[in-house]
Amino acid sequence: MTSRRALPPGATLGVLGGGQLGRMFVHAAQTLGFDTLVLDPDAHSPAGAAAHAQLCAPYDDERALAEMAGRCDAVTTEFENVPAPSLASLAQDIPVAPAAAAVAICQDRAAEKAHFERAGVPCAPYAVIETREQLAAIADDLLPGILKTARLGYDGKGQVVVADRVALEAAWTQLRNVLCVLEKRLPLKYELSIIVARGADGQVVNLPVQQNLHRSGILALTTVPAPDVTQSQSDQAIARATAIAESMDYVGVLCVEFFVLEDGALVANEMAPRPHNSGHYSIDACDLSQFELQVRTLARLPLVTPRQHSPCEMVNLLGDLWFDGGREREPDWGALLALPGMHLHLYGKKQARPGRKMGHLTVTAATPALARERANAAAAVLGLQGF
């Protein structure tokens, strides 16, 4: 991002991607007085429905990118698998944050882990597998492990748990012999995530550390304040995420997920060059959300550290809720909203599918214990397993 002044209200902010993260970015941008333009191939995208305008085209469409560069004053992305060359192309004419080079690192697990090491941040022992020779040369102490595709894996997809060499070879075949990373399985206690925002001037602020619970590889619950995280672990997570951002000269919102091991040590798992599912609670429980931070970094507005004003639980609402014994139905939103402390966010997706993120619920209360109690009451109403 080149040196420039802050963008004034009325300027146009563009976003590549029309999903729920883009939708919430659009809402935050509009609150601050910006016009918004979404590029997404889906004419019915959630972000496009909320934005001032949408370009309906593939992310690598040269004509659409040229139009976006002509109509926008700055552009960001809402997901990491947008083609990095598209970001680089836009950056020739207008500011783009995060930059193509940073997004490219986050698109590739092998590059991501190498970057963690360059930044001095511990991650699980791993090896890159691209050939049968590399497969055969895997060290014994990396097994048992988890084999993950280097690209396009998310929410537990593209990964296979492997106990031994026979299972490893079978898993690589199952994953079609694509470039993979084998990670050693570690004694995990739980996962936490931290969201930092870094401005073009190098200033960094962060949201509180978030403790995450996954079910079937998909985030189910985020709790803030993180109940099991010590002050030392929190400080470590913030420092390490900051080091990762600074070593990429990153501009924008960055989420880094860490595994907490049984001995209390933190190892980096992965990062996302955008707002993150685990940070959605910030809309309702903080005085500054991750999406406003994204707008501020893009528009070069001042960054201030967000303050959490309410203990909370954030519950993911997956498409499974829309089905009962195979029959499609609408969840009982009325009964849910009759409970105190409920903040319901539905993403406007036209079709529910099992495992699809359809919305989220942030539950706020005066104390962490009451927030958990209310989250369990909400889960009972929705037919979810309790927490």
pLDDT at 365 over 80: yes
Give dist(CA 213, CA 277) in Å, integer.
12
Give dist(CA 292, CA 196) in Å, integer.
12
What is the mean predicted confidence (pLDDT) over 374-385? 97
- Note the pLDDT of residue 217: 86
Residues 35-46, buried b or exposed e (16+ Cβ, 10 A)?
bbbbbbeeeebb
pLDDT at 153 over 80: no
Q: Where are the domains of the chain?
A: 12-96, 125-184, 188-382
276 marked among binding-site residues: no
What is the mean predicted confidence (pLDDT) over 239-266? 97
Query: Could you tell me how many helices (H) and strands (E) the chain has, helices first?
Result: 13, 19
159 marked among binding-site residues: yes
- Note the pLDDT of residue 1: 41
The architecture in CATH of the region 12-96 reads 3-Layer(aba) Sandwich (3.40)
214 marked among binding-site residues: yes
The class (CATH top level) of 125-184 is alpha beta
User: Where does 188-382 sit in CATH, by number?
Assistant: 3.30.470.20
158 marked among binding-site residues: yes
Give dist(CA 149, CA 343) in Å, integer.
36
pLDDT at 326 over 80: no
184 marked among binding-site residues: yes
- Note the pLDDT of residue 80: 87
pLDDT at 111 over 70: yes
- Binning pLDDT at 50, 70 and 90, where does residue 149 land? very high
Q: Are 116 and 142 in contact (CB under 8 A)?
A: no
CA separation (Å) from 378 to 23, 243, 364, 371? 24, 38, 12, 10
Give dist(CA 8, CA 15) in Å, integer.
17
Name which of 46-50, 113-117, 159-163, 190-194 the model is least confident about. 159-163
313 marked among binding-site residues: no
113 marked among binding-site residues: no
Residues 362-375, buried b or exposed e (16+ Cβ, 10 A)?
bbbbeebeebbebb
- Note the pLDDT of residue 152: 76
Find, among 103, 143, 147, the residue nearest to 129 by Cα: 147
- Note the pLDDT of residue 325: 80
What is the mean predicted confidence (pLDDT) over 115-130? 95
- Binning pLDDT at 50, 70 and 90, where does residue 157 land? confident
pLDDT at 3 over 90: no
Strand order in the sheet with 145-149: 126-129, 180-184, 145-149, 159-162
269 marked among binding-site residues: yes
Rg (CA), the chain: 21
Query: To which residue do tokens 């619970």 refer?
Result: 213
Residue 276 tokens read as 């993150």
What percent of the chain lies above the pLDDT cut of 90?
Answer: 93
pLDDT at 237 over 60: yes
270 marked among binding-site residues: yes
148 marked among binding-site residues: yes
78 marked among binding-site residues: no
Name which of 34-48, 141-155, 289-303 the model is least confident about. 141-155
Residue 324 tokens read as 């009962």
- Note the pLDDT of residue 65: 98
Q: Are 292 and 298 in contact (CB under 8 A)?
A: no
What is the mean predicted confidence (pLDDT) over 155-169? 86
What is the mean predicted confidence (pLDDT) over 254-265? 97
Give dist(CA 51, CA 62) in Å, integer.
21
191 marked among binding-site residues: yes
355 marked among binding-site residues: no
Give the H/E segment covering residue 21: helix 20-31
On average, the pLDDT of the chain sits at: 95
